[in-house]
């Protein structure tokens, strides 16, 4: 009789099981990584397709696309009789230079108008002056240069004033003191809307019926739901309390920062913010994750008259304040 001297190998079955589990784990991870990569590629292709067909469909917009959208409104204006939600309708460069379009007529002479009139303008149950009315986005029947909704062919004023200065006739133009201590932002005048700095309750134009026509900046009050607005109607204290509550909940467009403005365009320049947010009529879009968004701009437009071309005249931007222009 033959007797085997081979000893039994304990744990072989467990070793085989562990090996198979490791193999299946590697296969699962490989599949997971491949599937995740395919998903990312599919999303990238979808975004690329959306960007090609309509660059405003993706939430991460190219700065050039946003700039083009703004320039379309700012350079060429909005057609009379339409709003498109464009808060700077009527404040374009084309209108500022040549005046508004007149069907069958001519407006080919630059800066030949008289500017905005001091004539009464009836709106929202109140009476203001034409030069105070800056936001025509709420009513397509109201047209710039045509008092009280005049027809597009009958102009009652011409907004191409024969000068350039940061006032109501050149509403787009901003101004900064050289040391940054005083700022007039583009598309805002304190003498029209009042101060945008806190305390916000001190300026009734933030919550009254006429205020939305005096500024192109979105007011938190105008984004209240119908139910919220009705619940505080006629009560100024309750209105301001509710607005602040809804802002803290992230349900309303907020007020400006403490300096009365929203954005600092001149980074590195002395002072704080220098521009305000403006809705130029962007549609509301939906991102891939369901969030809704729209384009807002905060332009700062400054006059170059009287400024020195430091590339020609030189500067002291070199080390130890030495000369550093590109002219040698």
Q: Say if 5 falls within a structural domain.
A: no
Rank 112-121, 178-187, 280-289, 314-323 by mean pLDDT and report only the highest: 112-121
Give the pair of three-digit tokens for residue 161.
């004033």
Is position 224 within any domain? no
Q: Are residues 38 and 138 in the same domain?
A: no
- Which range of residues forms the domain containing residue 45? 18-53
Same domain, 28 and 75: no
pLDDT of 200 strictly over 90 = yes
Q: Are residues 48 and 27 in the same domain?
A: yes
pLDDT at 55 (0 to 100): 54
Give the residue-averaged pLDDT of 152-177.
88
- Would you say residue 328 has pLDDT above 70? no
Residue 172 lies in a domain: yes
Q: Is the residue at 238 inside a domain?
A: no
**What's the CA gap between 247 and 251, in Å, rounded?**
6
Q: Give 79-94 pLDDT, tens digit per residue.
A: 887 777 899 999 999 9
| pLDDT in the model for residue 290 | 77
Summary mean pLDDT of the chain: 84
Distance (Å, rounded) from C-alpha 317 to C-alpha 328?
13
Q: Kindly state whether residue 242 falls inside one of the protein's structural domains.
A: no
Please check whether residue 109 lies inside any domain of the structure: yes
Instruction: Look at the chain and report how many structural domains it folds into.
Output: 2
Tell me: pLDDT of 52 over 60. Answer: no
What gap in Å lies between CA 310 and CA 18, rounded to an integer? 74
Is the pLDDT at 225 greater than 80? The verdict is yes
Kindly report the pTM of this predicted structure. 0.75
33 and 174 assigned to the same domain: no
Please check whether residues 68 and 132 belong to one and the same domain: yes
Report the alpha-carbon distance of residue 166 to residue 187 in Å, rounded.
9
Beta bridge partner(s), residue 149? none
Q: Which residues pair with 126 in a beta bridge?
A: 123
Segment 59-74, tens digit of pLDDT? 677 888 888 999 999 9
Q: Give domain status of residue 303, yes or no.
A: yes
Residue 181 binned pLDDT confidence (cut-offs 50, 70, 90) = confident
48-57 long-range contacts (CB < 8 A, ≥24 apart) are 56/282, 56/283, 56/285, 56/295, 57/285
| Whole-number pLDDT of residue 53 | 56
Q: What are phi and psi of 27, to 5 degrees?
A: -65, -40
**Is residue 37 pLDDT above 60, yes or no?**
yes
- pLDDT of 112 over the 80 cut: yes
Distance of CA 287 to the CA centre of its chain: 17
Mean pLDDT is lowest, of 6-20, 213-227, 241-255, 291-305, for 6-20
Q: In this predicted structure, what is the pLDDT of residue 320?
A: 81
**Per-residue pLDDT, 80:** 80
Say whether both 95 and 32 belong to one domain: no
pLDDT band at 2 (very low <50, low <70, confident <90, very high): low
The full DSSP string for 51-95 is HHH-TTSSSS--HHHHHHHHHHHHHH---TT--TTBTTTT--HHH
Helix H or strand E encompassing 98: helix 93-98
Highest mean pLDDT among 22-26, 42-46, 129-133, 289-293: 129-133
| pLDDT higher than 60, residue 1 | no
Domain shared by 33 and 99, yes or no: no
Instruction: Answer yes or no: do 23 and 132 share one domain.
Output: no
The answer to whether residues 38 and 140 belong to one domain is: no
In this predicted structure, what is the pLDDT of residue 91?
93
The CA radius of gyration of the chain, in Å to the nearest whole number, is 30
Q: Are residues 181 and 204 in the same domain?
A: yes
- Tell me if 12 is assigned to some domain: no
Q: What is the mean pLDDT of residues 146-151?
A: 69
């Amino acid at each position: 009789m033959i007797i085997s001297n081979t000893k039994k190998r304990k744990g072989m079955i467990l070793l085989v099981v562990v090996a198979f589990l490791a193999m299946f784990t590697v296969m699962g991870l490989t599949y997971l990584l491949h599937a995740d990569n395919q998903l990312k590629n599919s999303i990238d292709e979808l975004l690329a397709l959306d960007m090609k067909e309509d660059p405003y469909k993706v939430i991460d917009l190219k700065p050039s696309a946003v700039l083009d959208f703004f320039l379309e409104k700012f350079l060429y204006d909005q057609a009379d009789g339409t709003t498109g939600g464009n808060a700077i309708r009527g404040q374009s460069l084309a209108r500022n230079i040549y005046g508004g379009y007149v069907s069958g007529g001519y407006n080919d002479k630059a800066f030949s108008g008289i500017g905005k009139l001091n004539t009464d303008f009836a709106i929202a149950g109140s009476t203001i002056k034409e030069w105070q009315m800056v936001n025509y986005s709420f009513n397509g029947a109201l047209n710039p240069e045509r008092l009280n909704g005049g027809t597009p062919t009958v102009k009652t004023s011409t907004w191409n004033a024969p000068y350039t200065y940061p006032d109501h006739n050149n509403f787009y133009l901003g101004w900064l003191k050289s040391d940054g201590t005083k700022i007039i932002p583009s598309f805002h005048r304190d003498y029209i809307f009042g101060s945008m700095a806190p305390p916000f309750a001190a300026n009734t134009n933030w919550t009254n019926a006429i205020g939305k026509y005096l500024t192109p900046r979105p007011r938190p009050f105008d984004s209240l739901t119908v139910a919220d607005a009705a619940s505080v109607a006629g009560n100024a204290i309750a209105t301001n309390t509710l607005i602040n509550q809804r802002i803290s909940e992230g349900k309303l467009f907020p007020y400006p920062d403490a300096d009365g403005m929203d954005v600092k365009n001149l980074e590195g320049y002395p002072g704080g913010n220098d521009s305000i947010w403006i809705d130029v009529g962007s549609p509301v879009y939906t991102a891939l994750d369901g969030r809704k968004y729209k384009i807002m701009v905060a332009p700062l437009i400054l006059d170059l008259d009287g400024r020195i071309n430091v590339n020609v005249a030189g500067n002291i931007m070199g080390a130890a304040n030495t000369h550093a222009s590109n002219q040698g």
